[in-house]
Structure 1
Amino acid sequence: MSDEFTGHDPYAINRKLPGADQHFDLVVVGAGPAGLAAALEGAALGASVLLVDEHPVAGAQMGNDVPYWFGGRMTGAVQTKDRMIEQVFMAQPLFEQAMEAGVELQLGVYAWGLWRNHANLAALPEPMLGLADEERSWTVGFKAIVLATGARDLALSFTGWDQPGVMGAQGLHALLTRYDAFAGRRIVILGTGDLAIATARLALGRGLEVAAMIETAAAPVGDLAEMAALKLAGVAVHCGSVLREAQGGIDGVRAAVIAPLGGGEAETIACDTICLAIDMVPAIELLDAAGGRIVTDPARGGHVPQARAGLALPGIFLAGDCAGLGLNEAQAAAEGRAAARRALGHDPDGAPLRPEPVTAVDRLAYREAWLRALVAASDDRVIVCQCEEVSRADLLDVQPPNYLERGEKMRARSLATLLEDGPPDQEQVKRLTRACMGVCQARRCREQVGMLLAMASNLPMAQAPRAGWRAPVRPVALGVLADWAEDQAMKDGWDVWFGIPTQWTPYRDIGTEREEQHRRALGGNMHL
């Protein structure tokens, strides 16, 4: 007896999904150094190329700190997207070069989903990328895609962090360079590593005042010559110190209160912005949603693609920071070019695009040191998830936010009771507390929630739990997603996608005369 199904279910989803709205040989997501280089290389090889970049993001998205932690420090200019498109275009000379080379450039467009047929999905007519702006959504088909989505900000909580003026290094960099729309004047930077040094140099170069750099370690962790130059430029460096509080006023941050680790006299530093430049996080959202394998690598930035760069899934390639941190702009561009060549079938058996590093920095250890210091300097009422107003205490007690009722059984619950059934599961904790369920899609809390759960469970940071990504990986209005052309066959089947006739037949009756009786009793074609 053959197990192969030879019949036809007119309400199955197979062959009902429409094809993509556009088609290209190569699609590149992200117009940083790696993405631009990949797009230019693809065009030089004669391929039809689409280059998509979400900048400039809409003002509302910025307000939700998507994709970067902008911290409410953007000027009103960002509300005019047409002007911002012009500004972003003019800020990157390679955009004009790409268009002259035949690359189709789409700015201000969000990549919110990536799908391909695999073991658990076989209904797609082709691999597709979901795109949207504020008005509509559409899909793009491709022969190959290069994800050059870069990195986003690492956010850690402390007293007063949930007010305007607390932001990330990526957000500050974008506002100063791409948007020319930063509203602050005097900043305090957390960290003294490479990211913090680059942030300080950029701020000084743009005429800002860097009041201080704060470091929990006993000495600066970045290049000592660079740090010495910053000191000569008037930047105060406080090592062995921690931020106790961000004091605020009507316009947000007005001062940073710091103190020595372990206690001591506090110092108040006047500022309008506190920039966390402790680390960045690889932007793995699209690859994760497409089914790519994610592993933990402390040297590359924590949760990263198993593929270091190049081929990650059939037809899906990686380049730049999304494949792991540690490259400079020239290295990222070289990796982008190599990924495009590999994606288009050139040099398929070449060497790995990114070999193992000779020396590796444990980024997770540095993050942990900072988080432990910030936790020790604040109480558990500090909000961890700003969107859902979940405090550190509620997270570790596995309680819902205060706007939901807490019954007796719920109040008796804690992380300790959950650990009786196994290691912490961030997805489970998310459902129970609503932490990481807000409109920022956990960009402000995802990493620190995992780290806090690991700390409370006495686990090393490399074993911190991770919440996965699912489409849409960008906040997209339902009205925009609903603008989707469906053929009549698909419309006719919507009320039975979860009503396949045979799914209601008891297992013992399958293959017997009672199977047909069940089908007739339930109404023939199963329409509800």
Structure 2
Amino acid sequence: MTNPDPTSIAGKTFPLRGSFGQVVVGAGAAGIAAARAAAAAGMATLLVDEHPLDPGLFGLDIPYLFGARLDAATRNAARMEERIVAARPDLLAAMEEGVEVALGVAAWGGFVKGVTSRAMARPLLGLADREAAWLVGFDRLTIATGARDVVLPFPGWTLPGVVGARGFDAALRLYGAFSGQRLAVLGGGALADGVVAAARAAGLDVALHRTTPARLRILGREEVAGIAWQDGAAWRETVCDTVVMAVDTVPMVDLPDVLGCAIAWDAARGGFAPALGEDGRASLPGVTILGDATGTAPMARAAWLDLALEEAETLVCACEEVGAGDLRALRPPRYLDAPGPQAGLAALGPLNQDQVKRLTRAGMGPCQGRRCREAVHALLSHDGPAPLASHRAPVRPLPLSVLAALEEDPALRANWTGWFGIAAQWLPHWEPAPADAEYIGGRLSPEDVVK
């Protein structure tokens, strides 16, 4: 039977840049080992990693909190690729064993057969570099994207010079481009101890290592100049050019969530983490999750976040300028000049973090919530963990020029612009559509546009 809907994807193809038995996303130790094992088993294997990043993403703190503490060398993509290969020597072994390695390539989405995509012939992964976006087919997918930094929204946290533990590690070890000199490190345990040890090994000065939660103020105007902390009734301070937030990390679950893998709250694994079966297998057939993407250490951020969120003026979402008081009151964005519900969060009913995001715009900025997700979740979760704020593709910001380069089936391109057969969409809103307008291939005919 012929498909009566010309805009449906049923029966249409998606141009691919290759099909692989195994695709691995993330070229850390776990990802490289998985790719080498797949190649040894005779699978056509693709290993992708988003590093070296487009320099524009450093400013958005994607995927880590970099805090503008990378030097100008990061603008030289070829040099950065050399440094990354040097930092991960097993990449060369993987290439020699037949793994196709693509550096500087991000996975921005994944698409499998489901409720809204029954017509898909096979699972697809969306990839992109600085020039173009494309799709590849896969039989099996391994996600080894690791974890990202938890940000503490103490006053001054948006200043250049505030970095996360993962951001510091990437800048220092992976890129060899860390530009700070004198550090204050926040957090205890292995994460913070590792930061302190790495800093001292690199000849950096660790001015402060604060292991217990305290009220803090990060000092400076244009960038970090120091840090102050409450010690009993008094405040103490020290000079530094970098504050490393090494309190906690959280598994990166954006790609598993977009694919449709089950995600569950598990404080013992760092917060929201994939629900896994044996051997790291996700709830979605053919998908395996490895390494820190499966979970990190038990949560250590609660007391720090409670202190940071005490004041209503605390800026929680910097991209959209949403404060703690705005969230508690469900206050709409300031540019709307409108009040929120009189009862604030109490008026919301069953808590839904996506609904809070739509009402206040917290988490809807260009960083895609990476800097504020945990703080927003902590503020909403005093009566129990709030649901996960869902992710949508693309899970990495992509310029329109990159998305425009995505190849499409001509049959799809001819119809994607049609919205439910509304011919008038191509006319100015103040002009009525001619009664006899002819709707051709997703748009009005040229003669009708002129009428």
| 1:140 CA drift (Å) | 1.0
**Cα distance in 2, alignment partners of residues 140 and 475 from structure 1:** 19
2:267 is the counterpart of 1:267: no
2:188 is the counterpart of 1:257: no
Listed one character per residue, the Cα deviations across residues 429-455 of structure 1 (whole Å, up to 9, x for unaligned) are 111111101111100001110111223
Listed one character per residue, the Cα deviations across residues 127-156 of structure 1 (whole Å, up to 9, x for unaligned) are 111000111111111111101111011112
| 1:88 CA drift (Å) | 1.0
Counterpart of 1:51?
A: 47
What are the residue-to-residue correspondences of 1:411-426 with 2, within 5 Å?
A: 411-413=339-341, 416-426=343-353
Match of 2:332 among 366, 382, 400: 400
Counting matched residue pairs gives: 429
Look up the SS of the partner of 1:129 in the other structure: strand
CA contact (8 A) 2:3 2:10 kept: no
Match of 2:87 among 83, 86, 91: 91
Match of 2:204 among 199, 205, 208: 208
CA contact (8 A) 1:109 1:131 kept: yes
Counterpart of 1:438?
A: 365
Counterpart of 2:276?
A: 307
CA contact (8 A) 1:166 1:274 kept: yes
2:316 is the counterpart of 1:320: no
Counterpart of 2:160?
A: 164
**Cα distance in 1, alignment partners of residues 197 and 407 from structure 2:** 49
Counterpart of 1:27?
A: 23
2:214 is the counterpart of 1:242: yes
Counterpart of 1:371?
A: 305
What are the residue-to-residue correspondences of 1:457-472 with 2, within 5 Å?
A: 459-460=383-384, 463-472=385-394
Give the percent of matched residue pairs that are identical in Structure 1 and Structure 2.
42
2:121 is the counterpart of 1:125: yes
| 1:10 CA drift (Å) | 5.5
Range with bigger deviation, 9-18 or 143-152: 9-18
Match of 2:254 among 278, 281, 285: 285
CA RMSD of aligned residues (A): 2.2
2:412 is the counterpart of 1:490: yes
Greater Rg over alpha carbons, structure? 1
**Cα distance in 1, alignment partners of residues 119 and 381 from structure 2:** 39
**Cα distance in 1, alignment partners of residues 368 and 74 from structure 2:** 21
CA contact (8 A) 1:424 1:454 kept: no
Instruction: Tell me the TM-score normalised to structure 1 length.
Output: 0.77
**Cα distance in 2, alignment partners of residues 269 and 386 from structure 1:** 25
Look up the SS of the partner of 1:145 in the other structure: strand
**Cα distance in 1, alignment partners of residues 400 and 295 from structure 2:** 32
Instruction: Tell me the TM-score normalised to structure 2 length.
Output: 0.90
CA shift in 2, pair 1:7/1:93, >3 Å: closer
**Cα distance in 2, alignment partners of residues 388 and 28 from structure 1:** 34
Match of 1:80 among 47, 59, 76: 76
CA shift in 2, pair 1:527/1:73, >3 Å: closer
CA contact (8 A) 1:26 1:42 kept: yes
CA shift in 2, pair 1:526/1:23, >3 Å: closer
- Structure 1: give runs of 5+ residues left out of the alignment: 1-5, 217-240, 327-360, 501-520
Listed one character per residue, the Cα deviations across residues 158-181 of structure 1 (whole Å, up to 9, x for unaligned) are 111110011100000001100000
| 1:40 CA drift (Å) | 1.1
| 1:525 CA drift (Å) | 7.8
Match of 2:376 among 442, 449, 463: 449
**Cα distance in 1, alignment partners of residues 319 and 88 from structure 2:** 33
| 1:8 CA drift (Å) | 2.9
- Structure 2: give runs of 5+ residues left out of the alignment: 423-435, 444-451
CA shift in 2, pair 1:412/1:143, >3 Å: closer
Listed one character per residue, the Cα deviations across residues 501-521 of structure 1 (whole Å, up to 9, x for unaligned) are xxxxxxxxxxxxxxxxxxxx9
| 1:157 CA drift (Å) | 0.1
2:10 is the counterpart of 1:8: no
CA shift in 2, pair 1:497/1:143, >3 Å: farther
